[in-house]
Every structure is written in structure tokens, then in C-alpha cells.
Amino acid sequence: MKIRLYHIPLIFLLSTAAGCATVRVPLQTFDAALAAGDTERAREIAGTNAGTNPSPRELLWVLQTGAMDRILQRYEASNSAFDRAEQAFAHYDQQLWAGRSAQTAGGLLINDTALPYTGRSYDRIMVNTYKALNFAVLGDRANARVEFNRALQRQSDAKQIFARQTEELRQTIAAEEARYGQYRMVDRSLNSGRLDRALSDKYRNLDSLAVYADFVNPFTTYVAGLYFWLSGDRDKAVDILKEAYAMSGRHPVVADDFRRADRGIAPSGEVWVIFENGLAPRRAEVRIDLPILIEAAPVYYVGAAFPELLPGREAYPFVTVESDSGSPVSTESIADMDAVIYTDFKKELSAITAREVARAALKTYFQYEMRERYGTGGGIIAGIYQAATTRADLRMWSALPTDFQLAHLRMPHDRKVVVQPAGGTRFPINIPDDCRNVIIYIRSVAKGVYPAIDLIKF
């Protein structure tokens, strides 16, 4: 049977009425557990929703699972989850390049939560970055090197993927415009300027917050360069650290690392402290209601829903590291993950807006058609349907941090350091004797929660 526009309410009631709650409620529960520092509970929620044999549609929960296993120092399990995530990325990329992407008209008829979560550019970059760091902690340098190379390649590939997604969306919307005649009239009404003004007011802060080049994560670039330098691959390290210096040249450690690597100086007896801080921005919903008339026939609800980003939440402003090698040093931000996410969001916003405007137009035309066919009652039902399905997509990988910070010091004579989070509890770290250099990696999700501490030895 051919599905017509006026069949949408039945389809919605049977298959998608609880869709938003199915996604949003577990995510809210997961985020609450993580913000409270209950990492075991957060891992349980993520694992339950991912399932034992997750399909690509469970990508978001696979990402959350991998991040939680990493925080809980279950490195093999974390990499296993991230392997699944990469399989999902490959699946959706194959669909995209074959012209069969999940971004179909079905999403236009309901909302973006009806589309599978296919991963954002920074998700892909961080998956390989985390895999590299996991392998580095495990002492598997060969695989760590592979994953750092893949993370850097992700940054190069992101522009091509974004361009293809944009073109695929244009084709989808054009096909829907051609299918429904009066759709065009509604589309022009939505693009009359009122919606643009409302969106401009809501997103006016994006220009000041999105400070990085498109599809680039300065932390990934820096830590890859540092790893290659400490592993003895000076030529490769210099090229990468040069890029990191261009992004974060005002950070004294990045500048010093690049200059020394460029001069051919090999690091010896040194400690780098990386502080992965807090939790990433999260999405909230913005609804905009608009009155529209179609040939003097009123419709009962016209609205659009868009996501907005709420700022990330830091665990601590910084951490201070004390040792017998000199004065205390404090971490400074090397990469603002909020800015990475805001930069990506700004790029994504044009596609979000295009889909939502097209969706509102289709649903509004559907109200008109239902009113013409079935009278006032049909129009009211269609209006209720539109109001119920006008929801923003709030899905995002929320286990990421708000920023990455960095400090550097000489190796202590007694190989002991004491870390003092600003306003938090001091904790000691012993550096093993079997390394010349070391990266101390500290992950703190919330204030007052004991952090996960990794040592990457060289």
C-alpha cells in the first residue's frame, strides 16, 4: 500500500509516539549519574542501552560505553566498544557515498530523532584519539601509532563527509518539494524572515564561542605530536607539533615542545600532565511557534524545534602539580572542547535548520490537507500530531570533557608528585622507575570525585 501524507498520524501513533522519550529519558539518567560522579552507574546505563551485540543504530550508546570503560580503566573493553563505533561510522559512510543515507524523507515527516545517530566529526576524531591513548597506556606502541594517524586523518576526511551530507540533504528536500505542491507556499512563509530573526537572536553567541578551524581538535593534534616525539619519531613529530603550535601557540608547553623538537632535542627526564576536565556541553530544546495561513484556511499549530548548546561543566578550574624538581606548576587549557563542539554545531546548524523548516512546511501542509479532507476535526488531529512531533534532537556524546589542560615539569628526584585540584583534595602519584619520560593523564568528571589516573611511560 502506498503511504500517503494523511497516513502519518497512524504511523506516528503506532511506531514513534514514545520515540523521543525512549531516547531522552535514558540520556538524562546517564548524564545525571555521570555529573554526580557515579561512573559505575553511568557505565551500566550505557551498556544496557547499547546491548550485547549493538547495531549501528546504537552508536551513541556504544560511544558512551567506550568512554565509561576508559574512565574505569578497562582499556581493552573500551577499545572493543570504540571498534564497534568505527564499524558504525563505516556503515553510515558507505550508505552516504552510495546515495542511500539514513537522512531520508522519513526524518522530515517526524523529527530528527527518527534518524539514526551517525556520529559527528569530533566523535570520530575522539574515538581514534581515545583508542590511541588506551593502547599507549597498555604499552602497545604500534597500535597507538596507528590510531593517532587515523585520528589525524579523520580531521582531513571530515570536510568531504560534511559536503556529501549537505548535498544529500539538498536532494532529499528538493524531492519532497516536488512531491507536494502547496509545500512550496508554506516553505516561503517559513522563510519570510521571522524565523531567521528568531534563530539569529538565539544563536548570536556562536561567533564568539566557535574559535577553531572547521573539523579540527587541537588536543588530538598536540597529543599525537607529543606521542611521536616521545617515541623517537622526530620528523613526524615536528610536522604535527608545528600544527599544534599554530593552534595553541600561546600555551607555553606547546611552544616549548615544538621548538625543542624542531631543534632536534630529544626529551629526557620529563613529565607531562594532561588534565581532561569535566563534562562536555549538552543540548537543550528551543521551540519557535509561528502563525501561518494557507489560502485563508487557518492551521492549528505551526512550530519548529531547534537544539541549543548549554556550556560544559568543569570539574576544577585547573590542577597544580608539586614535586621536588622545582616550583609547583599548574595546568592551562590546551584545547577547549566546548569550542570544538560549538564549531561543529555551527557547521551543522544550517542542515538542522533546513531539515526543520522543510519538516514544518510538510506538516503544516498536512494540516491543511487534513482540514480540507476531513473538516475541523481532521485539522485539529493533524495540529496535535505536528505539536507532538515537533522535537529537537538532543543526542550527543556527553561523556566527553569540557576542556583539556596541560602542564610540564622535570622528573622529580624521588619520582613522586602531588596533584592538587583547585578547591579539591590532594592526591599523590608515584612514577615507576622503568621510564625515562612519562605522561600523567588525569580524567576528572566532577568535583569531589576521585579522578582516573593513567601513566603512559616512555
Give me the residue spans of the domains in the chain.
5-457
What rounded mean pLDDT belongs to the chain? 86
> Greater confidence, 257 or 110?
257
pLDDT of residue 347: 86
Angle between helices 121-137 and 75-97 in degrees, nearest 10: 150
Question: Is the pTM value of this prediction over 0.75?
Answer: yes
Tell me the Cα Rg of the chain.
Answer: 25
Mean pLDDT of 55-64: 96
Greater confidence (368 vs 390) lies with 390
Which of 119-123, 203-207, 275-279 comes out lowest in average pLDDT?
203-207
1 pLDDT band, cuts 50/70/90, is: very low
User: Who has greater pLDDT, 295 or 387?
Assistant: 387
Burial of 198 (0-12, 13-18, 19+ CB in 10 A): middle
For residue 3, pLDDT beyond 60: no
Cell of 243: 600544527
User: What pLDDT, on the 0 to 100 scale, is given for residue 34?
Assistant: 96
Strand ranges (E), 215-269 = none
Residue 305: C-alpha distances to residues 112, 222, 386, 393 (Å): 10, 37, 11, 9
Q: Measured between alpha carbons, how far is 235 from 431 in angstroms, rounded to an integer? A: 28
pLDDT in tens, 245-259: 998 868 999 999 999
Does residue 457 carry a pLDDT above 60? yes
CA 326-328-334 angle, 5° bins: 115
Q: What is the CATH number of domain 5-457?
A: 1.25.40.10
